[in-house]
Amino acid sequence: MTVRNAGAALGAALLVLVSGCSSGAADDAGDHHEGHTGAASSSPPAPTTPSESPAPSTTAEPTPVVANQLPGMPPVVDAANVYSETAAGMLAPAAQAARPMVYVPHNSGEVWEIDPVTLEVVARFPAGLEVQHVVPSWDMTTLYATDDVGNTITPIDPVTGRNGPRIPVDDPYNMYFTPDGAAAISVAEARRSLVFYDPHTWAEQSRLEIPDCAGIDHADFTPDGRTAVFSCEFAGRVAVVDIPSRTVVRLIDMPTMNHHMGPQDVKLSPDGSRFYVADSDQGGLWVLDGAATQVIGEIPTGPGAHGLYPSRDATQLYVTNRKDNSVSVLDANTGAPITKWTIPGPSSPDMGGVTADGTQLWLSGRYDAEVYVLSTADGHLMARIPVADSPHGLCVWPQPGRYSLGHTGVTR
């Protein structure tokens, strides 16, 4: 596999990455899944899946600093930084055991695996009809490739990179885990629903229909783990969900209700004071208060604002502007603009993640059949790697943290 425009410093930076890991749609219609009817394919037999027990801890559990946390959820260590346990090198034992790899799902149904040192595609395998995201399990022992059209998830062993038999799950466009690890949540976009599963047996636990949340998509959770904010991409709003009761608390309309490609990725600020909600058609972020009761601001970033990723030290927030060949860098707590990085066009930076050592940001090029590697020091393009058409929810693995909330690697 050829690599274009690879920076000379990339090899050295990637060696640092591996050392850290060892130690510790060419157009907008691609997002609308217009052919997605939600009809289930013939269900494969349910396989035996790895047990998802809490990630082992090497130290005594700290005293909670956030009141009334969801029972069973690992305590917040620093009230000023919910990402305090996801700093460079802070790998849980399960993550330490993983082979460093970048997993690239494609809407064609394949997952490609890229070696982050050689930048070569080292494996590829079919994982369904339309694969959207590669999602780390709550305990970080398994990755799941989600196929919303085929209604399955494909488990991947992050130690070997090998995939297992597909598991029937209803419409898993995206997938999250409750902060206590008690449930996996299939974000069933075509059903306008959240489907809760036992993450060990994959038996359905319950189902929450949200008919006024067309295009239900991305999410994040309050520091206490009790409340989640889900974006409604085709309805111009977000849905606020109470996790213990699995009920809708409220719907919040955005000041401009974009119904085409509206609210998408959601991310909590490190201090828990606000939620950022990317809005592609708006060209920036909406800001909600930390209790998710109202919109309190707007931050312009660029056309196609989509993915939100905190830096490894949680001081910066990277915003991918899919229609602007750019990534905006904001202050993670205040949202103040810091700088903007340009990816030589044509480019379409979409989803991905920051490496375990924090030196690189990997992103899929949704409409350009490529993957980008950016330096987080100055934003320069270190490499662009050709892949197949419509790469989507790219997962960089391993990631620091005690547990995964899902998506492409939201850890705390």
DSSP 54-85: PPP-SSPPPPPSSTTPPTTSPPPS-TT-TTGG
Condensed to tens digits (0 to 9), the pLDDT of residues 229-281 reads 999 999 999 999 999 999 999 999 999 999 989 999 999 999 999 999 999 99
Domain ranges of the chain: 10-397
Tell me how far apart the alpha carbons of residues 149 and 379 are, in angstroms, rounded to a whole number.
35
Tell me how far apart the alpha carbons of residues 130 and 411 are, in angstroms, rounded to a whole number.
25
The position carrying tokens 């030196």 is 359
Structure tokens belonging to residue 308 = 């939100």
pTM here? 0.86
Asked if pLDDT for residue 286 goes beyond 50, the answer is: yes
Condensed to tens digits (0 to 9), the pLDDT of residues 308-347 reads 999 999 999 999 999 999 999 999 999 999 999 999 989 9
DSSP string computed for 83-147: TGGGSTT-B-HHHHTSPPEEEEEBTTSEEEEE-TTT--EEEEEE--SSEEEEEE-TTSS-EEEEE
The position carrying tokens 């909590």 is 268
Angle at 305 between CA 301 and CA 306, to 5 degrees: 145
Structure tokens belonging to residue 282 = 């708006």
Condensed to tens digits (0 to 9), the pLDDT of residues 365-406 reads 999 999 999 999 999 999 999 999 999 999 999 999 999 999
Q: Per-residue confidence at 2, pLDDT binned at 50, 70, 90?
A: very low
DSSP string computed for 180-241: TSS-EEEEEGGGTEEEEE-TTT--EEEEEE-TT-TTEEEEEE-TTSSEEEEEETTTTEEEEE
CATH architecture under which domain 10-397 falls: 7 Propeller (2.130)
Cα Rg of the chain (Å, integer): 19
